[in-house]
């Protein structure tokens, strides 16, 4: 189900990109807002919606709907990270009063002087 929705979502997004790129630019009307001849074309007095603008609107709505559906599905599914990374299993080994001391490090007991620097080899 999720794979099918992802495929549909990608196809809709590619279709939306193609439709937007096919449409003619509206850059000339934007220039009129800065002192050009008819500034009413920027925010109002828009002509009838073309077929391409209607297709763009429908594709954008479908893109948003598939995005929301995929988001809802992904939130409800368990995380992939938890299923791939195994949980840490720590086994407690009973200690018999012996603590391992790393080599080269000797613990100093209270009241004992610190050892001198080791001789250079």
């500034």: which residue's tokens?
A: 39
Q: Is residue 86 part of a domain?
A: no
Q: How many domains does the chain have?
A: 1
Q: Considering only 27-31, 71-75, 94-98, 105-109, which range has the smallest mean pLDDT?
A: 27-31
Task: Tell if the pTM clears 0.75, that is, is over it.
Answer: no
Cα of 50 vs its chain's centroid, Å: 35
Average the pLDDT over 69-98 and give the result: 71
**Is 117 within the bounds of a domain?**
no
Query: What one-character DSSP code corresponds to residue 33?
Result: G
| Structural domain includes residue 107 | no
Domain that holds residue 70: 1-26+52-77
Q: Which residue is associated with the tokens 């790129």?
A: 21
> Is there a domain that residue 32 lies in?
no
Q: Is residue 69 part of a domain?
A: yes
Contact 2, 70 (CB under 8 A): yes
* pLDDT surpasses 90 at 72: yes
Angle between helices 2-22 and 51-76 (to 10 degrees): 150
Q: Judge whether 112 lies within some domain.
A: no
pLDDT for residue 44 is more than 90: no
Query: Does the residue 115 lie in any domain?
Result: no
The confidence score (pLDDT) of residue 63 equals 97
């Amino acid at each position: 189900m999720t794979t099918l929705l992802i495929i549909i979502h990608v196809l809709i997004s590619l279709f939306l990109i193609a439709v937007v790129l096919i449409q003619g630019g509206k850059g000339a009307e934007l220039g009129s807002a800065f002192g050009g001849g008819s500034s009413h074309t920027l925010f109002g007095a828009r002509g009838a919606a073309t077929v391409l603008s209607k297709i763009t609107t429908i594709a954008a709505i479908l893109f948003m709907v598939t995005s929301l559906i995929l988001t809802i599905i992904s939130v409800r599914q368990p995380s992939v990270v938890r299923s791939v990374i195994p949980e840490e299993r720590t086994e407690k080994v009973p200690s018999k009063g012996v603590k391992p001391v790393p080599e080269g490090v000797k613990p100093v007991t209270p009241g004992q002087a610190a050892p001198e620097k080791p001789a250079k080899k």
